Amino acid sequence: MSDPASRTTPRTFGFVNWTLRPDLDDDAPPTLHSFRCLTLTENDTACAAASEPSADPAEQQSWAFDHMRRNPEHTSYAEVIERPWVMWRHQGPA
Ligand SMILES: [Zn+2]
C-alpha cells in the first residue's frame, strides 16, 4: 500500500471504487445547450452575447439567427453544452 493513511487506520474497509459517468438516469438533470457569440468587436473583445441554456438545441440555433439579424457581422458562435455526470460508487475487488 502506498497510501500512508492505510497504515494507520485501525479497521479494514473493503475497497470502494468510484466511477464518473454521464448521468443517464430518468431523474437526471437535462443536458443543456446554449450559444455564445465569439465575434470580436471593434476594440478586439468578444461580443460574448449568449442565449439562455435550454434542453432544445434547435431553440439555441434560432437565438443565433436572431442575434445575427440584429448584428449582421456577428457570424462566429460557440455551442456550450452542460451534460450531467454522476459519481457511481461500487465495490471493487476485495
Ligand atoms: Zn454578437
All three cell numbers of 83, joined, read 451534460
Which structural domain range is residue 60 located in?
A: 13-91
* Number of domains present in the structure of the chain: 1
Q: Say how many Å lie between the CA of residue 34 and the centre of ligand 1.
A: 14
Structural domain includes residue 45? yes
Q: Say how many Å lie between the CA of residue 31 and the centre of ligand 1.
A: 24
Q: Say how many Å lie between the CA of residue 71 and the centre of ligand 1.
A: 6
Q: How does pLDDT run across 49-91, given as a tens digit for each residue?
A: 999 999 998 888 999 999 999 999 999 999 999 999 999 887 7
CB–CB of 34/79 below 8 Å? yes
> What gap in Å lies between CA 83 and CA 34, rounded to an integer?
12
Structural domain includes residue 23? yes
Structural domain includes residue 68? yes
Structural domain includes residue 81? yes
pLDDT of 38 > 80? The answer is yes
Residue type (1 letter), 28: A
Q: Say how many Å lie between the CA of residue 59 and the centre of ligand 1.
A: 17
Q: What percent of the chain has pLDDT over 70?
A: 81
Structural domain includes residue 2? no
Please report, for residues 24, 28, 30, 33, 36, the alpha-carbon distance to residue 56 in angstroms, rounded to integers and kept in the order given.
17, 16, 10, 7, 15
Q: Say how many Å lie between the CA of residue 66 and the centre of ligand 1.
A: 10
